[in-house]
Amino acid sequence: MTHPTQLWAMGACELAELVRTRQASAREVVRAHLDRIDRVNPLVNAITVVLAEQALAAADAADEALRRGGPSAPLTGVPMTVKENVDVEGSATTLGVAMLRDAVARNDAPHIGQLREAGAIPLGRGNMPEFGMRWHTDNQLRGATLNPWSARHTPGGSSGGDAAAVAVGMTPLGMGNDGAGSLRWPAQCCGVTALKPSLGRVPQGGRHGPSQPAPFAFQLLAVHGPIARQVRDLRLAFAHMCGDRGSDPWYAPVPLDGPPVQAPVRVSVVTDPAVAGALDRAARLLAGAGYVVTEDPPPALDRAGEIYHQIMSGYSRVREQQPPVETVAPGDFARFWAGFEPAWTAAAGRPAFDPMTPIDPAPAGSIAASQPAHSGSSPPG
């Protein structure tokens, strides 16, 4: 079947509509992205494991169901990649660590299972730094991911593999996660869009079941979210990621849609010399779209960074339970940790934060529209 636009260049919403209306088969869509991976992935090393056989089988099953008159699910035939710290049944959850190369998951993470039920098809695994703890994407197990627009620039981390894969059309959707920038930073570096949901919106689970809960710091800070080239694709994916509770005690089953937003919407743009040009362009676009844009000082960014360190230092179980880093992730990660770990240790000695004391908020009714440059004081994971 011939299409005016190559299938790999289309977004998730477009692909789902083509499959639903039988203008393309799910197999055609998956095959187009597998071919794209064959051509492009050797240049960027964004996808670490290609699930070709499983993906084609899922596509054939979807096409057969449609031929028999079954309904099309919202994401039927839409491929997705999944970061290597998220469980995909039958695939290793490595966290980018060589010693976990055989840690094959017996089940999908809750949101991956939901996306499958909505018709999405896991196509491959996205690269990441060890433990999701660096600002670029590299590890001894899989090697480095390159920024698809410039090999001299970082693709970001820690969801850098999925962001790069989305940017070059190897997948319309990437599934990553974010505790301190791991969706937002690689999306910025690779020129795509990403959503870091609020805590409790997308259920956690799978690798950390009820008998082995994740450390409190990671429960509190890290969330799963989608990466795409278009904002409407983020919404489509997100709508089918936040249903089942799984084993997450933080899960909050709140509606996707809230009450209508009263116009005009105020947007606060935080001025920063390092990103002034990009912020100025964003502000002009927002103003042109009808938003009321104001300039405001950053809302206690230094204090927020300090609290982040205190949470990670006190509630991550790193110092108490972690074996020597060089025995788990030697090489570049061990050198990174040697430079970074003292910041956590120092945070433990500062006065603890009081969760009942508010951090200076942004002006009421405003939406912070900044992406501050990383200072090197906290990991993106």
Is 83 assigned a catalytic role? Answer: yes
378 in catalytic set: no
182 is catalytic: yes
Angstrom distances, CA of residue 226 to CA of 178, 294, 312: 10, 29, 24
- Short-list 169, 130, 165, CA closest to 147: 165
Query: Which candidate in 158, 159, 366, 378 is catalytic?
Result: 158
Q: What SS3 state is found at 79?
A: strand
Cα(288)–Cα(308) distance, rounded to whole angstroms? Answer: 35
For 231-245, b/e burial (b = at least 16 CB within 10 A) is eebbebbbebbbbee
| Residue with token string 């919407």 | 265
How far apart (Å, rounded) are the C-alpha atoms in residues 146 and 65? 39
Round to whole Å and give the CA distance between 378 and 312.
Answer: 10
Q: Which residue has the tokens 């899989």?
A: 142
Q: How far is CA 332 from CA 152, 275, 316, 338, in A?
A: 18, 28, 22, 10
Q: What does each C-alpha distance from 249 to 166, 210, 244, 303 come to in angstroms? A: 31, 9, 12, 28
Which one of the listed residues 25, 72, 159, 182 is annotated catalytic? 182
H or E segment to which residue 224 belongs: strand 223-228
Neighbours of 249 (CB within 10 A): 12
Three-state secondary-structure class, residue 185: helix
CA distances from 337 to 138, 319, 324, 345 (A): 14, 12, 10, 12
Question: Which amino acid does the sequence have at 93?
Answer: T
Report cis status (omega within 30 of 0) of the bond before 211.
Answer: no
The residues that are catalytic are 83, 158, 182
